[in-house]
Amino acid sequence: MFRIGFLDASTASGSAVLVEAFRQELRKLGWIEGKNFTIEYRFAEQKRERLPELAADLVRLKVDLIVVTGTEATLAAKRASTTIPIVMTASADPVGAGLVASLARPGGNVTGVSGLVVELNTKRLEVLKDAVPRLARVGLPQPPRSSTVISSNLQLKELRAAAVALKLKLEEIETQADAKGLESFFKTAKQKQVNAIIVIGPVYFAERKRVVDLAVKYRLPAIYPQKEYVDEGGLMYYGVDSTDLSRRAAVFVDKILKGAKPADLPVEQAMRFELIINLKAAKQIGHTIPYELLARANKVIQ
């Protein structure tokens, strides 16, 4: 009976769809929960300062492996143990964050899947500009400085440079990942005459329905980092399939539990990307998506 630790900065309900994709893939690989493995879940409930103690708790339980979502959770797990295998489901930049020596040769106890988040945010900004032809100001919700995640710091550097290149003003607005904080963000964005919104990183994933509803309320076009936002009624998504990354993580878990070492398993990079546009959402906010962009979309929701 293997014991798998699962460490996530989000909430159980917010990450349920990703957890289920992971569990389903394990079942396909022949693992039976309760018979030959169990999962110990630890969710930080959006309080990232709790990640180190939750990671330490999993180590004390002597789990055989820890599955982590996001860069901050991976760092917390790695600091808690240099021997327990750690599998990432979607790290933004594992090399830049110091999680692995290289993608081809991780070299330690961490491996898994990289979501190419840093590069994709630049592309999302380009798509947003194509969707809003007169775009000048873009609103960006950012976690408070005291809890800014490392992955967001890595993404911001590239995103700021992209904004300059595209001649856009990036309005970075400090935003708590709760109802009050998100309402305040959209009010501030309107005051700053923001024309559209870009959401980055995993910080607001658990509150995605609220974010989408507020974008409709304030009539602001928005592009999101996970397709689950569009599933909740969001306007646009460009990136990789988060549930697919969770399924790929299960393949790493399968190999490690059968004897493979993380140091010998190259980190996988996302290979498939898609642009999804929700015309229902566009109609709700009174926005027309240019035909040229619609023609490029992999999927258009009528």
Domain containing 136 — which CATH number?
Answer: 3.40.50.2300
**pLDDT reading at 81 higher than 90:** yes
pLDDT for 264 beyond 50:
yes
pLDDT tens digits, one per residue of 232-255: 999 999 988 888 899 999 999 999
Mean pLDDT, to the nearest integer, of 183-205? 93
Q: Are residues 110 and 208 in the same domain?
A: no
What percent of the chain has pLDDT above 90?
A: 75
Region 73-98: mean pLDDT is 91
Asked if 227 and 108 sit in the same domain, the reply is no
pLDDT at 46: 82
Tokens of 270: 């996302």
Do 76 and 140 have their domain in common?
A: no
Q: Are residues 30 and 135 located together in one domain of the fold?
A: no
Do 111 and 172 share a structural domain?
no
Count structural domains, the chain: 2
Q: How confident is the model at residue 147 (pLDDT cuts 50, 70, 90)?
A: very low
94 and 122, same domain (yes or no): no
Considering the domain architecture, whether residues 187 and 293 belong to the same structural domain is answered as yes
Q: Are 113 and 124 in contact (CB under 8 A)?
A: no
**167 and 55 fall within a common domain:** no
Q: In angstroms, how far is the first alpha carbon of the chain from the final one?
A: 47
Whether 232 and 259 share a structural domain: no
The domain containing residue 35 runs over which residues? 2-115+242-269
User: Above 90 in pLDDT, residue 286?
Assistant: yes
Cβ atoms within 10 Å of 164's Cβ, excluding its own? 11
Verify that 40 and 141 share a domain, yes or no. no
On the question of pLDDT at 146 being above 50, the answer is no
